[in-house]
Amino acid sequence: MRPWKMCGLAVVVAVAATACGGGGAADGGEGAGPAAAGSGRSGFPVRVTDCQGVPTTFPAAPARIVTSNAAALEMLLRLGADDRVIGTGFPPGKGTLPADLDARAQRVPVLGKMVIPKEKLLGSGADLYIDTFASMEHMGGAGDAPTAQEFASAGIRHLYLASTACAPMAKEPQRDLSGVEGDLTRLGAVTGTSKRAAELVSGMRAKVAAVHKAIGEVPPERRPGYFFFDFDAGTKQPIAVCGKQVANAVINQAGARNVFDGCDGAFQRVSWEDVVGKNPDWIQLAVRNRGDAAANRKAFEEAAAFLKGFPATRGLKAVRDGKFLRIGSERTTIAGVGNADTVEEIAHTLYPAQFAAAR
């Protein structure tokens, strides 16, 4: 049994591991799972230990899964385990996922438009609940969450996504995608889809490696400052993505410097004076997916118009020069395979000459 570390936070998996270095070869995989688990041909039992040190053993793959939100649901969709998902909270809006996943996601019953009510979750008949954000303070502690004893009494195993729910407890910021890779690896082991998980992780690493090859090693002092502007969170007081949010890893891997990397936790309210003081070189207009391309374009333009017209920001060089990236919020802040695609898009925008030379 080996741990994988998400920037200082160990999460033990009985079948596979990734390390915080990001981009290295996986320790586990389809062939390594059964041997490490010490079981028969099925690869079970599988034992995982979450970020709180609580071990959970799966004697067999779960048959009835509930997900707390779209992040865990999308991972299961990509792993091909969505036929076992019987419900979700915080469902993805129609059209917000890639076309090949959207129709399958829309068939999943919605148990809560936001946090699933405690009684509904416990009475759902699930044998596994995958929790994306229960320990995240900005989500309000996931409301009236069931206790460990209540989960056990209902026959529900409780598993966290380490890259999101556990990240705020880590000692160091997230600066690579190993947390997301580790979540995919663990879910693959638990659902018996380790081969597919390894393929997804390999694809993510290949994309990030291609970015690194094109732009080289960019020292911190040469990285352009980058501000993630969460337009839909409100404009009166901006919310910054901090070092322990997945977006920080995405920005870092793309060769940029999150100007709010130093704030603790995942998100934090800041002032416009703070943003002006950071004087970012680039600003991501991070609007949430409206489910329609035209509506998304309109929202991006509204975000840009606000920055151009707001007295505190209209004088920023990034605003004057129109150095905006029109990339959806979910693709950056929600853990998933698509994080690697966002790394590519940011890097191509910030370093066009390097990618042109690499062709």
Instruction: Return the structure tokens found at 99.
Output: 């076309």
| β partners of residue 239 | 269
CA distance 350 to 247: 16
Q: Is the dihedral of CA 34, 40, 43, 47 positive or negative?
A: negative
Task: Pinpoint the alpha helices (H) of the chain.
Answer: 32-37, 70-79, 99-106, 118-122, 148-153, 178-191, 194-215, 246-253, 272-278, 293-309, 317-320, 330-333, 338-350, 352-358
Listing from the earlier edge strand, what are the strands of the sheet with 110-112?
A: 110-112, 85-89, 65-67, 128-131, 157-160
- Which whole-number Å values give the CA distances from 197 to 48, 70, 268, 286, 351, in the listed order? 16, 18, 32, 28, 30
The DSSP output letter for 287 is P
Which of 24, 14, 95, 81 has its CA nearest to residue 48? 14
| β partners of residue 46 | 58
Find where tokens 């981009």 sit: 23
Q: What is the pLDDT of residues 322-348, one digit of tens each?
A: 999 999 999 999 999 999 999 999 999
- 69 or 16: which carries more pLDDT confidence? 69
CA distance 299 to 18: 37
Half-sphere exposure of 282 (CA within 13 A, CB side): 22
2-206 against 217-358: fold identical = yes
Average pLDDT, stretch 60-73?
A: 95
220-225 long-range contacts, CB within 8 A, separation 24+: 220/257, 223/255, 223/256, 223/257, 224/256, 224/257, 224/280, 224/281, 224/282, 224/350, 225/256, 225/257, 225/259, 225/278, 225/279, 225/280, 225/281, 225/282
Give how far the C-alpha of residue 206 lies from the chain's centroid of Cα atoms, to the nearest Å.
Answer: 18
Average pLDDT, stretch 164-193?
A: 91
Share of the chain above pLDDT 70, in %: 85
Instruction: Kindly indicate the confidence band of residue 42, based on its pLDDT and cuts at 50, 70 and 90.
Output: low
* Domains in the chain: boundaries: 2-206, 217-358
Give how far the C-alpha of residue 175 lies from the chain's centroid of Cα atoms, to the nearest Å.
Answer: 12
Q: What is the pLDDT of residues 200-233, one digit of tens each?
A: 999 999 999 999 999 988 888 899 999 999 999 9
Cis peptide, bond prior to residue 45, ω within 30 of zero? yes
**pLDDT, position 14:** 53
Q: What is the dihedral of CA 70, 76, 81, 82, to 10 degrees?
A: 10
Residue 198 scores a pLDDT above 60: yes
CATH superfamily of 217-358: Nitrogenase molybdenum iron protein domain (3.40.50.1980)
Which of 126, 118, 54, 59 has its CA nearest to residue 86? 126
For domain 2-206, the CATH architecture is 3-Layer(aba) Sandwich (3.40)
Residue 127 scores a pLDDT above 50: yes
**pLDDT, position 32:** 30
Residue 106 scores a pLDDT above 60: yes
